[in-house]
Structure 1
C-alpha cells in the first residue's frame, strides 16, 4: 500500500513535465523540427520569463486561498513608472529600479491591508486594484508610449550571458541539483520516510544533471543563456526554498489548508496574508520591469490580461484554487507550458482565435485531471 501511495505522488509531481515534453515532441514534428532549434528554445524560455515571474508571486496567493486580479495592471503601472523615471526624468537606473520595486511592495501592501485587516474579499479588492492601477497608468503616461529605454534595460530584457559564464552556471547548478536531491533523500531516511531504491535515486539525479547540461549547451549554441532566464532561475530557487524549507512557507500552506485551524495553532493570519500580497506586488513590479525592458518601451496596454495568464499557469502547474496545494516550480512549469503552446502554434501559423480556444480547453482539462486525481485518491 505504501508503494502504491508513493507512485501517486510521483505521478502528480511529474505529470506536467511529461505533458510539457509531449507538447514539445508534437510541435517538433508539426513544425519540421524548427520548434526544437536552439534559437527557438532560447526565444521560448525568454518569452516565458514574464509569466513565470508573475506566477511565482501568484501561486503564493492561491496557496493561501486568495486571488489577485490586479497584477496585470500593476505590471503596466510599474513599467510606466520605470519608463518615466528613465526616459523623462533621466534617473540613474539603479534608483529607478529601486523606486519601482518599492512601488510594487506598497501596492501589494494596499491590497493585503484590505484583505487581511478589513476582511474585504480578495476578488473584490484586486478587481478594484485592476481598475485603479490601470487608470493611474493612463494618467501618469498621458496615454502615450514611452521609450526607448537605457542600455541597461535592453540588457535586462534581451541580453545574454557569455558562453563561459553559462558553463560555470551549468557546473554550479549541477552541483546544486546533486546536493539538494541527495540531502532530501537523507532527510527522508532520517525520519523513516519512503525513498526510491539507491540505484533509481542515482539514476534520477544523473538524468537531472544530464538534462541541465544539455539545456545549457543548447542555449550556448545560439547566443548563450538569456539574462531574464537567469533572473527567473534565481527567484525560482529563492521561493522554492522559502515555501518548502521555512516556517513562513509552512504557514502559507497551513492557512490555505484550514484557516481556522491555522489561527488556533497560533499563526498570525493577518500578518502572513499582508506579507504574501506584498511579495506578489513585488513580483508584479519585477515583471513590469522585465516586460518594459524586453519591449524597450512602456505603453498603457502593457500587462493587459497578464493576471489571467499567471492564474492559468498556477492552475496548470498543479495549484488548487481552493488553497493549500501548489508549488512554485509547478507554476513555472505551467508558464512554460503556456509559452510553448503560444510559440508552437505561432510557428504553425494557427490563427489567434484558435490559440485562445485551445489554451482555454487545456486549462479546463488540467483542472479536471487535478480534481479527478484528488477524488480518486480520496476514494482509495
Structure 2
C-alpha cells in the first residue's frame, strides 16, 4: 500500500491529466461538439503543441539549475523564423543549408546570453528579459514589419506531412501506425526491464513488480490508442518523429550522463557543487546555449506549421514552456524535475487549450484558467517541500 501511495504521488500530474481529459470529453460530448479524442483532433493536438514540448524540454534544464528561466525563447523563435523566411523564401537558398545556418544562429544567440549569465554573473531573469526585447526587435527589423510566405513544399513536408504518406491507402496507414505503436511499446518495456535489472545488480531499491507491470500496461494501452487514432486520420505526423528524438535524447542526457547529473547537482546546492570541483559556470553556459538551440528548432517547426514568418511569432511561448515544466513537477527552487514530467505538462497545457477552444470558452477566461493551474502547480511544490522539511 505504501509503494502504491508513493507511485501515485510521483505520478500526480499524470493522474490529473487523465482526469482533465475525461472531464473535457464528457463536457464536449454533452455540448454536442464532437469528441476530444476524434482522430483529426488528436493529430492536430500533436502538431499544435509540438513547439511547447521542444521549448519545455530546454526550459526544464534552465529551471533545474536553481529555478532559473529564459524569457527570450519566444523572441528567439521570431528571430530564427524571420531568418528562415529570408533565407528560404526571399533568397531561395537550399533548404538544408538554410536549416543548418538557422541552427547555428540559434547557437550563437545562446552563446551571447550564456556568456553574460555564466561568466559575467548577470541574473538569468534580467539577461533573458533583455534578450526578449533585442531578438524581437531584430526579427521585426529583418522582416520590415511584414509577413513572409509561403514556404516551399520541399520544406513544409518535413514538418506538416504524415507517414506513410498522403498517397497511401487507409489499410497501409493503419498498419504502419499500429506497427510503430507496437515498436514503441516494445522499446518502453525493454528499457524499463533493463533499468530494473541494473538497479538490482547495483543493490538499489526497485519498483514492485506488480506496480511496474500495471504502469507498463496502462502506458502501452495509451500509446496503442494514440497510434490507432492517428491511423484513422492521415497517419503519423512527421513532427512527432522529431519530438520523439528530442525527448529521447534529453531523457537520456538528464538521467544517464555525468553532465546531466551536474545540472541537477547545481540546482540542488550550488556551493556544494562548486566545492566538489564541478565547473558551474560551464554548466550554466551550456544550459542557456542549449535553450537557444532548441528555440531555433522550435522556430523551424513553427514556420513550417504556419507556412509563414511573422514579427509576432512566438508571442508568450516562454509562458507555455515555463508553465509546462512547473505543471509537470519541476521545482521552483531547482534540482527537481524530469523530461517526462515536462512532456506531461506540455500535453496538459495542450489539452487545456484544445478542450476550452472546442467548448468555445472566451480566450480571456482561458488565460485565467491556465494561470490558476500554474499557480496550483507551484503551490503544490512549495507545500510539499515544507511538509518534507517538517518531517
TM-score range, shorter chain: over 0.9
Q: How do 1:75-94 and structure 2 match up within 5 A?
A: 75-94=77-96
C-alpha separation in 2, matches of 1:51 and 1:148: 23
Change beyond 3 A, Cα 1:169–1:144 = same
C-alpha separation in 2, matches of 1:103 and 1:7: 48
Task: Give the CA deviation at 1:188.
Answer: 2.1
Query: Does the aligned pair in 2 maintain the 1:24–1:36 contact within 8 Å?
Result: no
> What SS class does the counterpart of residue 357 from structure 2 fall into?
helix
Q: TM-score, normalised by structure 2?
A: 0.93
C-alpha separation in 2, matches of 1:351 and 1:312: 20
Identify the match of residue 151 of structure 1 among 150, 153, 168.
153
Aligned to 2:16: 19
> What SS class does the counterpart of residue 137 from structure 1 fall into?
helix
Query: Does the aligned pair in 1 maintain the 2:4–2:211 contact within 8 Å?
Result: no
Q: Which runs of 5+ in 1 are unaligned?
A: none
> What SS class does the counterpart of residue 221 from structure 2 fall into?
helix
Identify the match of residue 195 of structure 1 among 198, 203, 206.
206
Residue deviations 1:94-151 (CA, integer Å, cap 9, x gap): 0010000111111011111001110111111101100100111111111110010011
C-alpha separation in 2, matches of 1:274 and 1:331: 21
1:323 aligned onto 2:324: no
C-alpha separation in 2, matches of 1:338 and 1:198: 32
Q: Which runs of 5+ in 2 are unaligned?
A: 165-172
> What SS class does the counterpart of residue 293 from structure 1 fall into?
helix
C-alpha separation in 1, matches of 2:97 and 2:154: 13
> What SS class does the counterpart of residue 162 from structure 2 fall into?
coil
Q: How do 1:55-134 and structure 2 match up within 5 A?
A: 55-65=56-66, 66-134=68-136
Further displaced range: 166-175 or 243-252: 166-175
C-alpha separation in 2, matches of 1:370 and 1:152: 45
C-alpha separation in 1, matches of 2:347 and 2:216: 22
1:355 aligned onto 2:356: no
Task: Give the CA deviation at 1:198.
Answer: 2.6
Aligned residues: 377
Task: Give the CA deviation at 1:203.
Answer: 3.2
Change beyond 3 A, Cα 1:149–1:317 = same
Query: Does the aligned pair in 2 maintain the 1:27–1:35 contact within 8 Å?
Result: yes
C-alpha separation in 2, matches of 1:75 and 1:263: 33
Identify the match of residue 26 of structure 2 among 12, 24, 29.
29
Aligned to 2:163: 161
Query: Does the aligned pair in 2 maintain the 1:156–1:294 contact within 8 Å?
Result: no
Q: TM-score, normalised by structure 1?
A: 0.95
